[in-house]
A and B are shown apart, each in its own frame.
Chain A
Amino acid sequence: MSNTTSQPPPGADPGQQEDAALDQALAEYRDALREQHAPDLVGARIARAAGTAAPRPRASSGRAPSGTRRWLPVAASLAAATAVVALLGVFGTPDQSPGGEPVLVAAAPKPRLTVSYEPVPMRRLTPTGGHQIYYVQSRILRDERGLVRAVFPSRRARSTQRQSNAYGARPASIRR
């Protein structure tokens, strides 16, 4: 029922008109909702944990994985990262699709990681559409070559990020 508009017949009673208006509003909302796509989460998270390139766009949909843009700083939850590390131990070599393309991102050899705690610059959106840089204390994992393999912002930082990224949002005049 995409892009449908329901017009009440001439002389319709107020109840019918209300129903038509509601159907119209829901149809518009559904159309907008259908433009939203799930981020390529599995690939993104495994790729990030493996230190490989950014997640590939999904060929089937022909669109960029827009949802991963905000995903990277936000989703470094410890529990999730733990799950990824467990996954990496399982995926020895990439599975191949009939076309020869890897189905999941190839797992790199397990690096020996060192841990340090440092402030990390992060960005958050402002109501005016700009962005603001701020620093949060984070746990950083580096490999033998000193390359950063994972960043875990503090719990407080993650909750702040979530707050600033929550769409659907409250107007500026509202304070919790």
Chain B
Amino acid sequence: MPSDAELIDELQTGKRQALTPLYERHADALYRFGLAQGVAAHLVAEALQETFLGLLEDASGFDARRSDSARGWLYGRFRNQLRRARREPPTPDAEQPAAPSAEDSAHWQRSTRDVAALIAQLPEGQREVLTLITLQDLSYEETAHTLDIAVGTVRSRLNRARAQLGEWLQTRPAATNNPQARATDTAGPGVVIDV
């Protein structure tokens, strides 16, 4: 099985079929990272698509000397696309409340969605660190490399994120169990995911 570095080399030399194994190797992880940022699934999919299509045009910038895996490098490109997707102007039609599909609901129970909503309310830097380390199993060093920050900064952001989440979880126990409380509580963190 060719390594990421070899596949990216092939892309740079015009062998576009290298895109498929690269996509199948990393797309799921990137997709989940995007979902964990509180971005709507279709925007995550859009950003994912643009990230990989962009590789066909320009796959430069990957430094195989630092790591043979392109995971961190792809995260960086994907983050840029996610930010672009989130910058889209708010829709003019706000009458329709957004609703998950039945399929989404099966996977995303209320308690899980509460946690997702709370994570989405964290500052971006903390949210990314928490997602990469806790949910994506990256090491501190990989996270620091991916986000282009110091390892110490990774640690401090992770601590702050966990502290904030813990505080929110402590102060919102009723909302996770009581649908009525959730439906009427509009002021607390983690209720609205704004895309």
Chain A residues within 8 Å of B, Cβ to Cβ: 1, 18-19, 21-22, 25-26, 28-30, 32-39, 41-42, 45, 58, 60, 66-67, 70-71, 74-75, 77, 80, 83, 87, 90-91, 95, 103-104, 124-127, 129, 156, 159-160, 162-176
Give the A-B pair count, Cβ closer than 8 A.
196
A83 touches B115 (CB 8 A): no
B46 touches A163 (CB 8 A): no
Chain B residues in 8 Å Cβ range of A124: 96
A30 touches B135 (CB 8 A): yes
Known: A25-B169, A87-B53. 7 other contacts (CB 8 A): A22-B165, A32-B108, A41-B23, A80-B46, A127-B97, A167-B99, A173-B186
B36 touches A58 (CB 8 A): no
Chain A residues in 8 Å Cβ range of B89: 159
Chain A residues in 8 Å Cβ range of B169: 18, 21-22, 25
> Interface residues of B: mostly helix, strand, loop or mixed?
helix
Q: How far is the CB of B80 from chain A (nearest CB, A)?
A: 15
User: What does the 1/0 interface line of B20-61 toward A look like (CB < 8 Å)?
Assistant: 100110011011100110101111011011101100100000
Decide yes or no: A36 and B46 within 8 Å by CB, A26-B134, A83-B53, A159-B92 being known contacts: no
Q: How far is the CB of A148 from chain B (nearest CB, A)?
A: 22
